[in-house]
Structure formats: structure tokens, C-alpha cells
Amino acid sequence: MKAVDSGKTVLVIAYYFPPSGGAGVQRVLKYVRYLTGEGWRPIVLTVTETAGFPARDETLLAEVPKTVRVVRTPIFEPYALYRRFTGRSAGAATDIASLAHAGPASIPERLSEWIRAAFFIPDARCFWRLPAVRAGLNLIAGEKVDVILSSAPPYTCHLIGRSLHRRTGIPWIAEFRDSWVGWLSTPARSGIAAAIDRRMERSVLRESDMVITATAGVRDDLRSRSPGLAGKRFRVISNGYDGADFQGVTGAPPRDRFTLTYTGSLYGKRSPEVLLNATARLLERDPSLQSQLRLRFVGRADPAFLRSFERFPGIVEYIPYVPHAESIAFLLNSSALLLIIDDAPVNRGILTGKLYEYLGARRPVLALAPEGEAADLIRELGAGTVAGPGDSAEVEKQLAAMITAWRQGTLTWNADETRIAALDRRVLTGRLAALLDEVTVKPDGGEPR
């Protein structure tokens, strides 16, 4: 690691930050945790701890270094009105995992989605923009900030970063964990709303000093809508896993049951139905699986899927959202791990953070995924097997092969450890630090700003 240089400071703008839980928080949290060791002092600009996060994990607050300054600003979120209008409970989650249903949406839900698409641009966190910019300017006035890093979604973070960049001239990096216009996490817009959204995206891509994306697919999708960016610095830093998260967590594949575990949200087209149907057919052929097979789902799930789980008493185990450390323990106490990426053209560039934690757990992966970056990575690493998410016969075949290997004692982890080690969050944060250095060096090669 580099020696710490307290004179180099990065202002990190992120909505998802502890006590927010879920996969989206991990990338920024690990940056903040490890940047100091790479010669950069992070300052975090985020929302108050009472914000309406889709999931909360208070345990993650302990991972934020005590030396890191965290500036929290108020935010108005319209979700209380949404819950009241659609008849949801006061604490119901309201992110894409709960807005996208496996079944038909009600009239209030459809109307709410239209309002979201037409008026909350670029997203429902748009009301955070003004208070965050004010707080950011005050912070910059009292701190020597060398570079601004905004992480999205929500894309409002980039508009905050753009405003601070315009007002101060400080170099700015826009990081995209997901793409923007037309992506899975964004509503379908038309007319004026769509034009405003596209214009916002283009301005962020053109005005930022560098764009970092989590996958090559996200990079290519952004480029496809903004011609004329030939000279733009695009860089890819993949998601990863934190080896420290696995230290001290005990767990081993169970001997009495083949246990296939999925962690994360299930909603919309991200469905376990193909796997459940394959399981039903395997049970018909081999009733002994009733006592030898466990399908474990950990996280939030559409109620329609919960009803499907009831078809498999004694086999399907459903566990609602748990803190991150508990989720890691479930991974380790598994025979194999289940990845589901629904088959849509935009999803072929998805490399979900969940996959990297699976790699960190060193358990074989059964991926129900379209051909694309995730499928390619699993095959290249030798980390598991892939079946098309809609190919019922292939899913049944791959599941049966894994169960057979487990029974024979040959279901082992044989992945490329050298490449997997390079996906540790510490290593990836080192790559980020190098990019922060890059954007803060003057074009003539002079000293950092």
C-alpha cells in the first residue's frame, strides 16, 4: 500500500451508504474503507440515516473508518405518499425490487409508475440535489478537495457532482454501477420526460473528466447514446468481493443435503420459476431428493414467488433480508450458489455484485443467465456452469449434474484463483486510486491540482 497523504482528498457523493443495506452500498463502502491506504482521504456526502433506504443494515456502520468524515444532508422522498396511495405498509420497500412485479400491477401502482416516469427525473431522489449541492459547496470551502467522485444510481448523485464541478472547477469522475436511460432500474419514459432524461445523461458523460463503469456492457451502452465521445476517458472497474468479509465467518458445505443458495432480491423477470419447475421434474424421477435437496433463498422476494415456494415444503427455505455478515455465512454454508439474470438484451452486460461475492465464497455457481458478460466470466474462471434462464431442459440437466457430483463427492471448487484474487476490493480500490491520480494531474504533466 501507498503511504497515506492527507493532502489528497476525494469527495465521494453516494446515496447508498451505511446504514443503507443491500448490494448497491458495498462498492462505495469498500472504496471508503480502503482508499486511505492508497494515499487518498475520502469525504462522503450522503443522506441522513433516516432516509428511505430499500434495505437497512446498521452493522455496516462499523465498517466506515472513524477517521472518515461523513456529511449527511436531508432529503425529501415521495415514497410515503406512494405507499399510502398504493395501500402498502409504512415500512414497505420501494426500490426496483418491489416496484417490478411478477404479476399484473394494480391501477394505483400503474398510475404511480407513470407519475414517477413523468415527473421524478432522473429519479425519485431528485429532491436531494439542492441541499446536497449547498452542503457540498460549504464542505469544499473548508476542505482542499482534489477530485469529486459521484456514484450512481441514483443518477441524482451525478447531477450533484456536475453542479459542484461547474461551480468549483474541481475534476469530477462519474461512476456508473448501472447504465442510465432505458436500464432495468429506470422507468420507461416518453415525450418531454424522455428528452430531459437523455439530455441529463449526455451532459454528465460530456462534462465529467472521466467515466468509470462497473462493466464493459454498461460502458458500451452509455457510449451508444452519446456519439462524439471519442476522446472521453472511459475506464472499467468491476465489482468485487472483500476478502475481509469472509475472515472469521465459519461455514462449510453441508454433508446431509445438497444446498443451493440464492442471496438477493427476486422480482419481475428475475424469477426462480424455471428452477422450481426443474426441481419438480427431478423429484418425480427421484423421490429421494425430498430429503437430500435444499433450495435456499435469502433476501426480498415478490409475494408471487413466495407462493410458489409453498409448493416445495421441506425443500425450499426462504429467509428474508439479513445483515451482510449473515448473508456471507449462508454462502459459506452451501454446496453451490444460484445466480439468476433474466434474459433481456440490456441484461447481457450485467455483472451483478452478487456474482463476485459468490466467487469470494469459493462455491460452485449455477447461473441461470443469458449469454453475456456474467456467463463468460463464470466459464473463463471455471467457477461453475451456465444455463439459459428460459431453457427449462438445460436448467434441469445442470441441476441434476450438480446433485450427482455432490452425491459422488466430486462437486469441488476448481476456479482460477489468480484471477479471483485480483477481484478483491482492496485491489480494485488500488485501481481507483490510480484513476484519481490520473484526473488530478494537469495535462502538461505538472503537479496535481
The answer to pTM > 0.85 is yes
Q: Using the structure block, give the residue that is written with the C-alpha cell 476478502.
A: 243
Confidence of residue 88 (pLDDT cuts 50, 70, 90): low
What average pLDDT score do residues 43-63 get?
92
Cell numbers at 414, concatenated: 476448481
Residue 444: predicted pLDDT: 57
pLDDT band at residue 394 using 50, 70 and 90 as cut-offs: very high
Question: Which is nearest to 37 in space by CA: 69, 71, 8?
Answer: 8
Number of H helices, E strands in the chain: 17, 13
Res 84 pLDDT > 60: no
At residue 448, the pLDDT reads: 45
Tallying the residues shown for the chain, one arrives at 449
Peptide bond into 154 cis (omega under 30): yes
- Asked whether 369 and 375 are in contact (CB, 8 A), the reply is yes
Assess whether pLDDT exceeds 60 at residue 421: yes
3-class secondary structure, 170: coil
Domains 9-78+120-240+424-440 and 244-418 share a fold: yes
Mean pLDDT of 378-382: 96
- Percent of the chain clearing pLDDT 70 (strictly above): 86
What CA–CA distance (Å, rounded) separates 272 from 262?
Answer: 10
Compute the distance between CA of residue 100 and CA of residue 12 in angstroms, rounded to an integer.
30
**Multiple choice CATH, 244-418, 2.40.40.20, 3.40.50.2000, 3.40.50.1100, 1.25.40.10:** 3.40.50.2000
* Highest mean pLDDT out of 17-26, 61-70, 82-91: 61-70
Strand partners, 175: 151, 212
Average pLDDT of span 111-126 = 76
The domain made up of 9-78+120-240+424-440 has a fold known as: Rossmann fold (3.40.50)
Q: Are 339 and 259 in contact (CB under 8 A)?
A: no
Per-residue pLDDT tens digits for 169-215: 999 999 999 999 987 767 888 899 999 999 999 999 999 999 999 99
What percentage of residues in the chain have a pLDDT greater than 90?
A: 71
Domain positions in the chain: 9-78+120-240+424-440, 244-418
Question: What is the pLDDT, as a whole number, of residue 405?
Answer: 97
Instruction: Give the pLDDT confidence score for residue 183 in this predicted structure.
Output: 79
Q: From the CB of residue 264, how many other CB atoms can be counted at a distance below 10 Å?
A: 23
Phi, psi of 168 (to 5 degrees): -120, -20
**Grid cell digits, residue 98:** 418491489
